[in-house]
Structure 1
Amino acid sequence: MIGAAQRAGESAGAGTRTDDSGITTTTLGDLQADTRWHGPVLLPRHVLLLVTAGHGSQEVDFRRLPCRPGTALRGRPGQLVRGIGAAGFDGVALCWDDRAGAGVTAALAALDDRADSGHWQLTGEDEDAVISEVSQLEVDCRRHAAAGLAPELLRQQLTVLLLRLAVLAEQQAPDDGPGAVTYRRLRRELELSYDRTRRAEDYADRLGCSVRTLTRACLAATGRSAKQVIDARVALEARRLLAATDEPVADIGRRLGFPEPTNFGRFFHREAGSSPGAFRAALGRPAPDVPGRG
């Protein structure tokens, strides 16, 4: 079952669209007009937000990220956002799906490999360049029909924008040694497999390295062991689903690889500091489906 907040996410990117490209532009003001965006929403599409006016913060996956003119935020499908743009700032949101094509997908992979947080504060010439590219995309989405060469023009523009951000991220964190590469590979594999296995040994086998090598890479990148990184990813998905859907707690546990609700409850309490039911209740969501087992 899906909550009203998640249904609001189905309208993400409602605004100026060239349908064949899969790319949409809209403003935070447009999204704020829909009160369902004020609660927790699981993003259904890729989003890149550029703040153009005002100051405040935006919650993404339970983290408050500062926002002011020149702030760029990258949102991934499935991430949780709450109170979008409600803190006194405005901006432009670019949204896209898989129709944007292979070039955009490759540029996005390069960006995500080099930017853990998806949060940047742009300044100087970098800010000017990004503002120019976002503004041109916004104009072209509005002016051109979904026909002929227009969709490819938008795809190429989005590709350049994402590559520019990837270059900036690379310059800010240039370390590309073996440990950094291993950690990035783990992050990619986690997105494919976190709901099927939580064993560090399984991930090490898939990456062709030892658990010791995997743990060294994780410690260098995050200060946490490989097992802690894996469990944190599973716990994050649990928190997303508890916050933004009305799916029963036991069903969420099964989706994440816990056939027994009690095992899921113990895992979640260890990772999040409360039971799934208490976590959900604190956010104003429905109580757990099985009393005493949340």
Structure 2
Amino acid sequence: MVTTGQLPPAGRTDLPPLRPAVDDISTGSLGELAPGPGWPRPVLLDAELLILVTGGHGTAELDFRPLPCRPGALLRARPGQVLRCLGAQLDATVVRWGAGALRGLDVDPDAVPTYRQLAGEDEDAVISEVTQLAVDADRHAGVPAAAALLRHQLAVLLLRLSLLPDRGEQPVPRAESETFRRLCREVERDYRHTRRVEDYAARLGCSVRTLTRACLAVTGRSAKQVIDERVALQASRLLAATDEPIARIGRRLGFPEPTNFGRFFTREVGVSPGAFRAARERPVPVRLVRPRPPADASAGPTMA
């Protein structure tokens, strides 16, 4: 497993390069994502990723959620999320692509499950397609004519993953699911400036009650809780993956006073910002739960 040698400079969020990309699509090993030997702290992702575990056993922490990993485990990660993998023998193939790689193709990457343990025919098909994509990306690196091949291979892979059968999740009414998705889009645009449910209801042309009903249907939590969790999640990401001063992180997230930010974070996460950062070199049990609509909901981005 290949690893990089040094931690990134403070505040740096870009990943080390994987193998040369064709049309912003590249493949590589799991170790190439690590900020240092042994994953000393989470890394803040800057690209779309599929991670297919090929060997070993361990745990991946994606936005602080522990996900058990063994051969056949598949993770779908998004820009802005934080990732750390624990397990000395854990190996995986990583497929990475940029925002323009799928432009013009009828595929929704957000329909791909965040985590799935593959088995049987599904596992065989996905392994075959990931392997072929990796081979072609390496063989045709720097060949412009290969761009269309890799784009369509990636689209087929994502479509196949989006069609995986669900695991018995309770269906959410379409109206509530769409309202939740619309709220997620608005929160993603403006969570740094407002956490008031009333502001989002006004923008979406609905009532606070409607937003709360939709959030309860999808996540089991109120609209206010969903908004506050998004802010706390971003704070946790920056505290864990960067060396940015705590007070500056608070100001970026709409807390001019450090004491107000500290109280908010402690209420949401269960520990102070300073304690959370001090513990970032080891797995930290936190209460953060990132809501995600069901895969069959109508199109629209989830909160990143």
TM-score normalised to structure 2 length? 0.81
Aligned partner of 1:196 among 170, 177, 193: 193
2:226 is paired with a residue of what secondary structure?
A: helix
Aligned partner of 1:27 among 29, 54, 58: 29
Give the Cα separation in 2 of the matches to 1:176 and 1:52. Answer: 37
Amino acid aligned to 1:102: R
Relative to its length, the structure with more helix (as a share) is: 1
State the identity %.
57
Partner residue in 1 for 2:145? 149
Q: Of the two structures, which has the highest relative contact order with CA contacts closer than 8 Å and spacing of 6 or more? A: 2
Aligned partner of 2:125 among 111, 115, 129: 129
What is the correspondence of 1:1-294 to structure 2 with a 5 Å cutoff? 4=8, 10-12=14-16, 14-19=17-22, 21-31=23-33, 34-35=36-37, 37-82=39-84, 84=85, 86-103=87-104, 106-111=107-112, 115=113, 118-168=114-164, 173=169, 175=172, 177-283=174-280
Runs of at least 4 residues off by over 6 Å: 5-8
Give the Cα separation in 1 of the matches to 2:167 and 2:38. Answer: 38
36-45 or 97-106: which moved more?
97-106
Unpaired segments ≥5 residues, structure 1: 286-294
TM-score normalised to structure 1 length? 0.84
Amino acid aligned to 2:21: T
In the TM superposition, what is the alpha-carbon distance from 1:189 to its structure 2 partner? 2.6
Quote the RMSD (CA, aligned, Å): 2.6
Amino acid aligned to 2:135: V
In the TM superposition, what is the alpha-carbon distance from 1:87 to its structure 2 partner? 4.3
Amino acid aligned to 1:94: V
In the TM superposition, what is the alpha-carbon distance from 1:36 to its structure 2 partner? 7.5
